[in-house]
Amino acid sequence: MIVVVTVQQYLRHGYNNYSIFASSLKLLLAHQSLYVPHPEFYNDLYKYSPTFALFMAPFTWQPVFTGLLCWNLLNGFALFAAIRALWPDERRVVATMALVAIELVTSMQNTQSNALVAALIVLVFVHMEREQSWRAGLSIAAGFFLKGYGAAVGLLAVLYPKRFRIAGATLAWGVALAALPLIVISADELLRQYGDWANVRETFDPERKASVMRVWARYVDAGGSALFIQVAGGVLLLLPFARVRQWRDPLFRLRMLASLLVALVIFNDSAEPPTYVIAMTGCAIWYLSEPVRSRTDHIVTLAIMLGVSLISTDLYPRAGRTLIGPYTAKAVGCLILWLRMNWELLTWHEGRSIPKAR
């Protein structure tokens, strides 16, 4: 699948995002600002951290095709490896990858880093479960320097006894990674780069994004406050943390991971359809973590999940896009599932356990 998508995008020159990533280190080495237009290399703007430019060193001087292939392989297999580390049995690994496959293709067709972000978030959870504080801290810090909101998984550290050790490890790794570009640029240049990075958020256009806020503005109240919706979503996300007695339940913690993965996308005013590989990973983990589901539950839940993914494909009639397009369907579908996740977390009872392999 990865090879086919890579060939497709290479032949149609559909790899502008990859060009942005791969060219960033060249610009850093040339002591140029990363956050201004560079039409000689790509369209649009670079919106990642200065440290991320160094991460792209293995791809920067490769031919476009091999670099693009390696980039897509990294994203796809990183997500696979993270899911493989999460689940104890192979059947659920296969089922999870099958449920996220279409969203993974969408992300790779846009040569995005979203699958890598999802992988890092899942790996943070795995490291926390295994009491590997330094590895968890590295993954949290790496998630921040890849995409700022990737560090939000650090919230889950509250659920673990070693929360302060994880916080300390994250801080140490964060400082180290923040300073990493100093090996190629001066301290003054690095500070300017970080200042420019902080301002690049102003270039996001919420009207072009696939978030709950956009759906609200389009169909309910065009003058409504996007911040209010984000705050409300944040409160709902945090409410289950108040159930301190449930923190010791591994399935409760797993469902918290699933809820976080979805919330990071649907309440993100920079979310796009390719970002939904992160949300669908959360939906798949939540769905497959339930030991027993009714037939109706299977049908309804799978219908929503498949609808969220298939609406981005040619299987969805083009005429229907005028009624409800991918941007709206993805946000609303994932919101419905996320609200159910949170209801389950808020009404959780002890004694449930993660299902064993059959």
Scan for tokens 């010791």, then name that residue.
248
What pLDDT is recorded for position 43?
85
pLDDT in tens, 277-330: 999 999 999 999 987 888 888 888 888 888 888 887 777 777 666 666 677 888
What pLDDT is recorded for position 320?
64
What pLDDT is recorded for position 313?
79
User: CA-to-CA distance for 97 and 116, rounded, in angstroms?
Assistant: 14
pLDDT in tens, 3-35: 999 999 999 998 999 999 999 999 999 999 999
pLDDT in tens, 102-154: 999 999 999 999 999 999 999 999 999 999 999 999 999 999 999 988 899 99
What pLDDT is recorded for position 155?
95
Tell me the pLDDT of the chain averaged across its residues. 89
The H or E element spanning position 189 is helix 187-199
Q: Is the dihedral of CA 232, 238, 242, 245 positive or negative?
A: positive
User: CA-to-CA distance for 277 and 92, rounded, in angstroms?
Assistant: 17
* Residue 113 near residue 146 (C-beta atoms within 8 A): yes
Largest CA distance in the chain: 61
221 DSSP 8-state letter: -
User: CA-to-CA distance for 322 and 348, rounded, in angstroms?
Assistant: 40
Lowest-pLDDT choice from 78-87, 201-210, 287-296: 201-210
**What's the average model confidence in pLDDT over 44-61?**
92
Which whole-number Å values give the CA distances from 285 to 38, 106, 254, in the listed order?
Answer: 40, 19, 8
* Residue 145 token pair: 């320097």
* Residue 164 near residue 193 (C-beta atoms within 8 A): no
Q: 10 Å Cβ neighbour count for 324?
A: 15
Give the percent of the chain with pLDDT over 90.
68
- pLDDT of 208 over the 80 cut: no
Res. 357 pLDDT band, cuts 50 70 90: very low
- pLDDT of 223 over the 60 cut: yes
pTM of the predicted model as reported, rounded to 2 decimal places: 0.92
Total residue length of the chain: 358
What pLDDT is recorded for position 95?
94
